[in-house]
Amino acid sequence: MLDIKLLRNDPQLLERALLKSKGKFDKDGFMSLDVKRRELIFKAETMKSDQNAATKLIPQYKKEGKDTSSLMEEMRSLSNEIKELDQQIRQIDEQIAELVLTIPNIPNEAVPLGDSDTDNQEVRKWGTPAKFDFEPKAHWDIGEALDILDFSKAAKVTGARFTFYKNAGARLERALMNFMLDLHTTKHGYVEVFPPFMVHRNSMVGTGQLPKFEEDAFKVANTEYFLIPTAEVPVTNMYREQILDVKELPIYHTAYSACFRAEAGSAGRDTRGLIRQHQFNKVELVKFTTPETSYVELEKLTNDAEEVLQLLGLPYRVVKLCIGDLGFSSALTYDLEVWMPSYNRYVEISSCSNFESFQARRADIKFRRGPNEKTEFVHTLNGSGVALGRTTACILETYQKADGSVEVPEVLRKYMGGLEVIKA
């Protein structure tokens, strides 16, 4: 959510935000609603002021034995008028709120122009994609051959886009989770959180998944609960409607969670393997910072996620998303893309964003610099640190051998009871 006053005074900002939403927004209608609202408020408040004055006179008159019936009659009609005005104001407020909630965040000046991922800017590359002296297999074939992934059983039990991990596969996924959490908590200074995997609708609004993208989420029937699409939602909303002390900032949290996504609109894409699932595991990084430090913190957060890939020996690149590819709530996003041999290209494995005050304003997360200072909105950031399923896929493909076995990356061995090679 953006600041209405800011939009009122600087419509140019609105234009920039709308570059993302492809201009479907009725800007003039929005501006005139804002004017209308303030007119009505002024009228109503003047009337309320009169009403309050009369309300004080009535007991005084009664005490003096004066007749109050005509004044009371007058106030009765004034009261009705006020109720009517309040009703109108409430309607306009709702309309404005609805509109404002659908305006995306304003992209940072550094965000490149462009419509799609082809316009993203490569920032840096690490490692070189593996070369094989045999015909490498895709991870879904490797997984089934080694009996560590089972897609057809999951399809029977649940449906498409679900997976059973088995044997060393299940253990690998669990090892990755522990490896990442340990790295972030011990080396990078994040405080670990294990969040609820369902949240109330209010939390989904707070971080920007709702009201605009309800079809992307799984809603639990007969409740107002949603399965979380990322741990970002519960962890960011931990501090909803709170005023933090500046001394508490920056706050760093890392959290494992399962993530649930309806993947509406991606039917037919990435139908094989672990790349696009309705349920996947992820270790998330979340930060709350002061406005002046948020971009430095974004660089650090991105580096923290990169280190996971470096330690696992997985080649990747970092790209800066262009306006067209930028998420609804984000002001600037770096994607980490890992080299996926079966796709023969880089595939997104982490998305690190600075939301500036956009989420904080929606979720009402503030801080105070000192005892007599005004409150300000914090900046929120988050990034995957990183997605486990895609990492597993990438490890299987990158570390596969000609005989069909898969080497376990060095750093994971202590999490797998010393296992060095996954064999059939």
Partner RNA sequence: GGAGAGAUGGUCGAGUUGGUUUAAGGCACCGGUCUUGAAAACCGGCGUAGUCGUGAGGCUACCGUGAGUUCGAAUCUCACUCUCUCCGCCA
Residue 70 in contact with RNA, rule: CB under 7 A: no
Interface with RNA (CB under 7 A), residue from 33, 58, 100, 155: 58
Q: 5 vs 131, which CB is nearer to RNA?
A: 5
CB of 42 to RNA, least distance (A): 5
Nearer to RNA, 317 or 369 (CB): 369
Residue 118 touching RNA (CB under 7 A): no
Select from 72-80, 97-105, 148-156, 170-178 the region that touches RNA (CB under 7 A). 72-80
Q: How many residues bind RNA (CB under 7 A)?
A: 29
How far apart CA 420 and CA 424 sit, in angstroms, is 13
Distance of closest approach, residue 18 Cβ to RNA, in angstroms: 21
Query: Binding to RNA by residue 46, rule CB under 7 A?
Result: yes
Q: What is the 3-state secondary structure (H, E, C) of the chain?
A: CCCHHHHHHCHHHHHHHHCCCCCCCCHHHHHHHHHHHHHHHHHHHHHHHHHHHHHHHHHHHHHCCCCCHHHHHHHHHHHHHHHHHHHHHHHHHHHHHHHHHCCCCCCCCCCCCCCCHHHCEEEEEECCCCCCCCCCCCHHHHHHHCCCEEHHHHHHHCCCCCCEECHHHHHHHHHHHHHHHHHHHHHCCCEEECCCCEEEHHHHHHHCCCCCCHHHCCECCCCCEEECCCCHHHHHHCCCCEEEEHHHCCEEEEEEEEEECCCCCCCCCCCCCCCCCCEEEEEEEEEEECHHHHHHHHHHHHHHHHHHHHHHCCCEEEEECCCCCCCCCCCEEEEEEEEECCCCEEEEEEEEEECCCHHHHHHCEEEECCCCCCEEECEEEEEEEEEHHHHHHHHHHHCECCCCCEECCHHHHHHHCCCCEECC
At closest approach, how far in Å is the CB of 251 from RNA? 18
Q: How far is the CB of 11 from RNA (least distance, A)?
A: 16
Select from 220, 243, 296, 421 the one that contacts RNA (CB under 7 A): 243
Residue 147 or 241: which CB sits closer to RNA? 241
Check binding of 122 to RNA (CB under 7 A): no
Binding to RNA (CB under 7 A) within 358-417 occurs at: 366, 371-372, 374-375
Of 90, 124, 414, 423, the one binding RNA by CB under 7 A: 90
> Among the candidate windows 49-57, 120-128, 172-180, 248-256, which touches RNA by CB under 7 A?
49-57
- Per CB under 7 A, 54 contacts RNA: yes
Among residues 29, 59, 189, 211, the one that binds RNA under rule CB under 7 A: 59
Interface with RNA (CB under 7 A), residue from 72, 170, 191, 246: 72
Q: For 108-146, give one letter per residue: b (16+ CB within 10 A) or e.
A: beebbebeeeeebeeeeeeeebeeeeeebbbbbbbbeeb
Nearer to RNA, 42 or 134 (CB): 42
Q: Which is nearer to RNA, 32 or 55 (CB)?
A: 55
Is residue 45 a contact point for RNA (CB under 7 A)? yes
Residue 10, both tokens: 């600087």
Among 10, 12, 42, 272, binds RNA (CB under 7 A): 42
48 forms part of the interface with RNA (CB under 7 A): yes
CB of 199 to RNA, least distance (A): 12
> Is 5 one of the binding residues for RNA (CB under 7 A)?
yes
Catalog residues that contact RNA under the rule CB under 7 A: 4-5, 37-38, 41-42, 44-46, 48-49, 51-52, 54-55, 58-59, 62, 72, 75-76, 79, 90, 243, 366, 371-372, 374-375
